Amino acid sequence: MQDFSRLEAQLRQTLPTGRIEPQTLPVCPEITLGLINADFPEGPLPPEVMHEVIARPAYWAFCWGSGLALARYLLDYPDRIRDRAVLDLGSGSGVVAIAAALAGARRVVACDNDPHALHAVEVNAAANGVNVEPCKDLIEAGSGYDLLLMADVLYDASNLGLLADAAGVAKDVLVADSRISSLPNPHYRQIATMSALTFPNLGEFDEFGTVRLFQRR
Ligand SMILES: C[S@@+](CC[C@H](N)C(=O)[O-])C[C@H]1O[C@@H](n2cnc3c(N)ncnc32)[C@H](O)[C@@H]1O
């Protein structure tokens, strides 16, 4: 069994009473990740803890609904990914990168601008017996990929430009998102709608349980 203690130590830098536990994913029972305990401390948190949680959110400690849905899609349609070189941008826990590797991708690179997320990817990939290469940004990632994957990264409006940048990175692009219903870029069309909740459950609004999958034309 993988040792998740270093992930727990990095979570506790912002949430001192949080725990990291190995959790098999709903919808994707093929994957087990080190994630925050389901009864994680919510509020009221002391103001200094609340400040840290907001300033340095541990996104990697959750498997987001869009990542869960995209992982299921890749596992269900391995022909889309087998033998391909794949970049997962905004990888968080690594759920999408790990699903890509399990589905037969030739090379998987996970990119996240949070160093804690890259450590989570490393630990979680090992826990699932797959190889995923970490990188911190698109410059380090380079180009020439067959497929670029993005799940739940458009919550930050400054990331909308990635939709255009994607064309220079990979031949094909798949974007999964539960936050926006249409992409402000004419090169993308919606190809599927799925239901998935962030895990452990964050108690988000019902509308965030609908994940849309977009493909770049
Ligand atoms: C909401 S989480 C989604 C994680 C994962 N894809 C999932 O679905 O579980 C968004 C992740 O994207 C990362 N991120 C946000 N903007 C980014 C950017 N411009 N470049 C790289 N990573 C980014 C954040 O650090 C965070 O780990």
Q: What is the pLDDT of residue 197?
A: 92
Q: What is the model's pLDDT at position 1? A: 62
CA distance 12 to 113: 19
pLDDT class of 100 with cuts at 50, 70, 90: very high
Is the model's pTM score more than 0.85?
yes
Distances (CA, A) of 107 to 67, 102, 145: 19, 11, 9
Assigned token pair, 65: 């609904």
Instruction: Quote the percentage of the chain above a pLDDT of 70.
Output: 99
Residue 142 burial class via C-beta count within 10 angstroms: exposed 0-12, middle 13-18, buried 19 and up: exposed
Backbone angles phi, psi at 85, to 5 degrees: -95, 125
Q: H or E stretch including 71?
A: helix 65-76
pLDDT(103) > 70:
yes
Identify which has the larger pLDDT, 163 or 14. 163
State yes or no: pLDDT of 128 exceeds 80: yes
Asked if residues 90 and 97 have their Cβ atoms less than 8 Å apart, the reply is no
Q: What is the mean pLDDT of the chain?
A: 93
pLDDT given at position 26? 95
Q: Which domains does the chain show, CATH number per domain?
A: 65-216 (3.40.50.150)
Residue 171: is its pLDDT beyond 90? yes
Is residue 153 lining ligand 1, measured as CB closer than 6 Å? yes
- Any atom of ligand 1 within 6 Å of the Cβ of 120: no
72 alpha carbon – ligand 1 mean position (Å)? 18
**Cα–Cα distance, 109 to 101 (Å, whole number):** 10
Q: Is the pLDDT of residue 196 over 80?
A: yes
CA-wise closest residue to 87 among 24, 136, 25: 136
Answer yes or no: is pLDDT of 131 > 70. yes
State mean pLDDT over 134-145: 96
Q: How far is the CA of 112 from the centre of ligand 1 (A)?
A: 6
